[in-house]
Structure 1
Amino acid sequence: MLTPLKSALQKRLHPVAKILFDDGVRAIHVTSCAGLISVAVGVLVAAFAFHLWIFVLIPIWMLIRMLFNAVEAVLISEFGQQSRLGTCAHELSRIVAETALFLPFAVIPKVSILLVMTVTLLAIFSEFAGLLGPLIKASRRQDGPLKSDMRLVCFGIFGAGIGSGYVLTAPINIALAVMTVLLLITIIIRIRRAVSEVTKPAAAKADLSN
């Protein structure tokens, strides 16, 4: 869904990435910075959650974070910044960022703490399910229906709605319940497709040998 936007951002931010690269900034620095700011924003919002307008910071930061991600992607693809350490940092940063930005919603009155915690945990599990692929010699699974980008869009909408006073808590609880189901489906799909990716070639080789 957001792939065309990501591609456009990367193209636009290529000059910025070049300047940063020339100044010694590396992809892992951008990744780490985005993760740390996400934690800071989450803590700030949670600390002042009694002022509901502060939840507007979450969608604002999510938009800015997209710029960070675009610069990181350009540094990796165009300036040879791919590394094992960078990959680890990217995966950890994404999980930490989602957790930090989702949990503050649990302190909003009448928003279900159980649903927020469940969605947050399942989001983490879905990323772990995606990372299981390389462990069994499959690809890193990014299958939907509720990928990381869509989760961030959902919580960005929640933050904008709560912060502006236009969204009630009841619709958020319903949306969280739907997200719970979609995340369970996402986890199952990622695991099944990772296993299928490995077993199908093996079965094909067995047929050829016979």
Structure 2
Amino acid sequence: MPSIYQFKSRFQSLLRPLCILMARMGITANQVTLFAMMTSILMGLWLSLQSDSRLPWLILPLFLLLRMALNAIDGMLAREFNQQSALGGILNEVGDVVSDIALYLPFCLISNQPAWVIAAVFLAFLTEFIGVLGPAMGALRRYDGPMGKSDRAFIYGGFALFFGFFPALASWTSALFAVTAGLMLWTCMNRAKGILTRPS
């Protein structure tokens, strides 16, 4: 199933010079992972506390791009600079879920039906949980779409940008999260199917 995740290798190529520089500076993959998670929490708090201000919503797309870059860099540091560890794997998966919750729950504050936002955030967690089940069941970690981590960042970040310029779009928040919730349910099924049909 198509997903922005398919462009990850090209994105990593762009980031490789920065990754090499960070490795030479002694920055570790786990430090990058923790930094991404903590800044996501702070960004989410800013959105929650100033949801009626345009600035944090306009900044969110840029922050999501930064988060995607950091997520790519921590993986590259781990794989290419011999920093892989069990702790790093835990931090990576937990960090993704915590960051999603922190960054997307604030959309409840601009939605007229926040239950859809909550449902989408729960399904975002479920997509990652099912993806992680792959290795636990002797298969690969699943990244199937159509609504993986990168896709969520692109769609929600794009909506935040438009909302920052046109606040009247708040009335469309529930519809957006309802549609993406459906796509994430589809993603869950695709990942589960991938584990069952391609176990290795």
Shorter-chain TM-score above 0.5: yes
Superposed CA RMSD in Å reads 2.0
Paired position in structure 2 for 1:164: 165
Aligned equivalents of 2:137 and 2:144: distance in 1? 17
- CA spacing shift, 1:3–1:113, aligned 2, 3 Å: closer
Please tell me whether Structure 1 or Structure 2 has the larger radius of gyration of its CA atoms. Answer: 1
When residues 192 and 2 of structure 1 are mapped into structure 2, their CA distance, relative to the original with a 3 A threshold, is: closer
**Is residue 48–residue 109 contact of structure 2 (8 Å, CA) maintained in 1?**
yes
Alignment-derived partner of residue 146 in structure 2: 145
Kept in 1, the 8 Å contact 2:107–2:173? The answer is no
TM-score, structure 1 as length reference: 0.85
1:61 maps to which residue? 63
| Aligned position for 2:126 | 125
- Given that 1:105 and 1:111 are in contact with CA atoms closer than 8 Å, whether structure 2 keeps it comes out as no
1:166 Cα offset (Å): 6.1
Structure 1 residues 148 and 26: alpha-carbon distance in aligned structure 2, compared to 1, 3 A threshold = same
The answer to whether residue 35 in structure 2 is matched with residue 50 in structure 1 is no
Q: Take 1:189 and 1:14, find their aligned partners in 2: how far apart are those partners?
A: 31
Change (3 A) 1:156 1:138: same
Letter in 2 for 1:83: S
Cα pair 1:145 1:185 within 8 Å, conserved: yes
Structure 2: how far apart are the matches of 1:92 and 1:2? 21
CA contact 2:5–2:150 (8 Å) conserved in 1 = no
Identical-residue share of aligned pairs (%): 30
Q: TM-score with structure 2 length normalisation?
A: 0.89
- Higher relative contact order structure (alpha carbons within 8 Å, sequence separation ≥ 6): 2
Equivalences, count: 198
List alignment gaps of at least 5 residues for structure 2: none
State the Cα distance separating 1:192 from its structure 2 match.
2.4
Q: What aligned pairs does 1:54-93 form with structure 2 within 5 A after superposition?
A: 54-93=56-95
Give the secondary structure class of the aligned counterpart of 2:189. helix
